[in-house]
Amino acid sequence: MGLSVSAQRVIKPKLIEVDWKGIIYKKEKSIDLRLHENGASIAYNSGTIKSYHRTNYYHLELGYTKDEREKTQSKISRLGRSGSYAYGKINSLINVRGGVGVKKYLSEKEKKNGLAVGYTYQIGPSLALLKPYYLDLIYVETFNDQQVSTVRSEKYSEQNADKFLEDGSISDRSSFFRGFDELKVRAGVQGKVGLHLAMGAFDEYVKAFETGIMFDIYPSKIPILLETENVPNRRMFFRLYLNFQFGKRSN
């Protein structure tokens, strides 16, 4: 009589862990709020997520730049008006920047809501829009043996140079919107390199912080201030920046 023994093999089902490290989204759109040493800007980015480590994006930015040597003076004019103006300033600089960039992560893939550390770089064209800086200048004229003071809004010229640079003849700066019909355009190149820190790199919503170096370079000097031997204008602008980025990812 034969004895047969059979053993039954029990297979436990393997637990599947949900991994948030995969690529969930393909597109990324965001807004930048950037502060730098001599101004600020706002920008729009449209990106394509190639992999966890890399996102390619297009960039469009509008901002302004001051010369760090600008000195704003507050005063009460002889007409009794209180005002402020930048002494020796002849143009306001508005920046329009476009470009293509890359964002790359260095850290390992984190769980959802983790911090991703990486870097970003960008390059493209830069347009310097120069808007004449207008001041309200005081003119004293004589009519019928009586002196009458009038105020005229004027930009700098060789003809009014003495009054434009004389504190006693300046009442206030004119409206910011004065001079937009006289814009002059200078074309150059811009770029940036920065450290990128992203919260929740796999979330639907973009929340990131950047800090780094940005630059604008033009083929000729940008006349923000009235140039003198001691105050030369420049064609290259290098500065540190802080950037706050908000947006949304999608398929």
Question: What is the three-class DSSP state of 143?
Answer: strand
Q: Is residue 1 part of a domain?
A: no
DSSP 119: E
Domain range for 51 is 27-250
What gap in Å lies between CA 44 and CA 246, rounded to an integer? 10
pLDDT at res. 13: 54
What gap in Å lies between CA 215 and CA 121, rounded to an integer? 12
pLDDT at res. 19: 44
Q: Is residue 13 part of a domain?
A: no
Which residues, 6 or more positions from 57, have their beta carbon under 8 angstroms from its beta carbon? 28, 45, 46, 47, 48, 100, 101, 102, 103
- For residue 161, give the H/E element and its range: helix 161-164
47-104 per-position pLDDT tens digit = 999 988 899 999 999 999 999 888 888 776 555 666 789 999 999 999 999 999 999 9
Q: Is residue 102 part of a domain?
A: yes
Q: Is residue 12 part of a domain?
A: no
Q: Where are the beta strands (DSSP E) in the chain?
A: 27-36, 39-49, 54-65, 72-76, 82-86, 91-105, 115-132, 135-143, 146-154, 170-173, 184-199, 205-222, 234-250
Q: Is residue 61 part of a domain?
A: yes
List the chain pLDDT tens, one digit each, 251 residues: 455 555 555 555 554 444 444 557 899 999 999 999 999 999 999 999 998 889 999 999 999 999 988 888 877 655 566 678 999 999 999 999 999 999 999 876 555 557 889 999 999 999 999 999 999 999 988 777 777 888 899 999 999 999 999 988 888 899 999 999 999 999 999 999 999 999 876 688 999 999 999 999 999 999 999 998 888 999 999 999 999 999 999 98
**pTM of structure:** 0.83
Q: What is the CATH number of the domain that holds 125?
A: 2.40.160
pLDDT at res. 104: 94
Q: Is residue 206 part of a domain?
A: yes
Q: Is residue 3 part of a domain?
A: no
| Overall domain count for the chain | 1
pLDDT at res. 65: 96
Burial 66-89 (b: 16+ CB within 10 A, else e): bbeeeeeeeeebeeeeebebbebb
Tokens of 155: 């930009």
Q: Is residue 2 part of a domain?
A: no
pLDDT above 90 coverage of the chain, percent: 64
pLDDT at res. 20: 44
